[in-house]
Amino acid sequence: MTKKQASVIVFLSLAAFVLAFMISARIWFRLDLTRDKSYTLSEVSRNLYKEIPDQVTVTYFVSDRLAVAHPMPGEIADLLREYAAHSRGKIRFIQKDPAKANLTQAVEEMGIVPQQIQVVEKNESTVATVYTGILIEYLDRKSVIPVVFSLDTLEYDLSSRIRALVRNTDKELGIIVADASKQWNTEYDLLNRQLTLSGFKIRLISPGDEIPDTLPALFVLGGAEDLDEYDLYRIDRYILGGGRVLFTVDGVSVDTQGNLAAHAVQDKGLLAILANYGVVVRRALVLDRSALNLTYQTRSGNSTVIRSVRYPEWIGIQQGAGNPNQPLTTRFSGLDL
């Protein structure tokens, strides 16, 4: 190699380095080596930019103390950067520490909820107030995820909220508590809180009341033994008009407040309607070959014996059951029923 050739190679190498440095702020790339592509956006989210006329700003308010103490904030930030990278400039990502930016009061007024965590620094344990929440802004509209500490449903939460802001529509959901023995604010309190945190506006509808055709979706919780013909007519009419309904129904009822006795439900018409739509709910218990173990304790004399038995009625939905191309299930990690 001549001296001139060596000089040319050095010059080209330096030029390539400078060029890479200049565009590094504009191009972000992350290689996902996980088996199930846990950190790769679904096709729906990658193409979200096509639905966004003006720029969306996503601000991740996270405390530096939390980011240093736990890896999850870094993974959340990576996912948000991937949104920006695929958006062709339609999504802008910002990360801020509320304390450093003197915004603690402002972020709490937005709806981002402070969290208490235990931090060990210099062999001393202290309790720290930290933030990990997301603000999404589009034009003069805003949406807040009060607390985010998991990737499980984050992509769905982000994509659905961005769509709702761009379309200027509410994430509204109708609820019919069709089991006469249950109440929304008691037996379904956990579901209520999770739907609210996900940004849904809940509309409670009593059985038999008219269901608005404009309602985007409806949950019917139970009701095989309680909904009469008129109640079912209202629901069926909503479906025929293009409405979408999630039914949570049992073919077998278990007395959870008494001796755990089980009996086949006495259907008043709901199961029959579902059968007309092609969904047959058998009045039998499901037994799962991938069942979970049930651990319980018994007394033997003066000692306590802990036993673990395989319980086929305890259904375990495995990790591979999620659809990787849908935001809601792309990071599905399994579910115990």
* pLDDT one-digit tens code per residue, 31-73: 454 444 445 788 889 999 999 999 999 999 999 999 988 999 9
Helices (H), the chain: 3-23, 43-46, 64-69, 72-86, 104-110, 154-167, 189-197, 229-240, 270-276
Which fold would CATH assign to domain 24-167?
Answer: Glutaredoxin (3.40.30)
Nearest to 74 by CA among 122, 30, 124: 30
Higher pLDDT, 138 or 14: 138
In the predicted model, what is the mean pLDDT of residues 84-90? Answer: 95
Is the predicted pLDDT of residue 260 greater than 60, yes or no? yes
In the predicted model, what is the mean pLDDT of residues 244-250? Answer: 95
Is the predicted pLDDT of residue 26 greater than 50, yes or no? no
- In the chain, CATH 3.40.30.10 sits at 24-167
How far, rounded to the nearest angstrom, does the alpha carbon of residue 170 sit from its chain's CA centroid? 17
Higher pLDDT, 13 or 134: 134
3-state SS assignment for residue 191: helix
- In the chain, CATH 3.40.50 sits at 170-285
Whole-model pTM over 0.85: no
List own/partner pairs for 180-187 with CB under 8 A and 24 or more apart: 180/226, 182/221, 182/222
pLDDT for the residue 300: 81
pLDDT for the residue 240: 94
pLDDT digits (tens, 9 = 90+) for 182-230: 999 999 999 998 888 888 899 999 999 999 999 999 999 999 999 999 9
Residue type at position 266: Q
Higher pLDDT, 72 or 302: 72
- One DSSP character per residue, 142-170 reads EEEES----STTHHHHHHHHHHHHHHT--
Separation between Cα atoms, residue 79 and residue 85, nearest integer Å? 10
List own/partner pairs for 276-281 with CB under 8 A and 24 or more apart: 277/239, 279/247, 281/224, 281/249, 281/250, 281/251
| CATH number listed for the domain at residues 170-285 | 3.40.50
pLDDT for the residue 22: 47
pLDDT digits (tens, 9 = 90+) for 110-167: 999 999 888 776 777 788 899 999 999 999 999 999 999 989 889 989 999 999 999 9
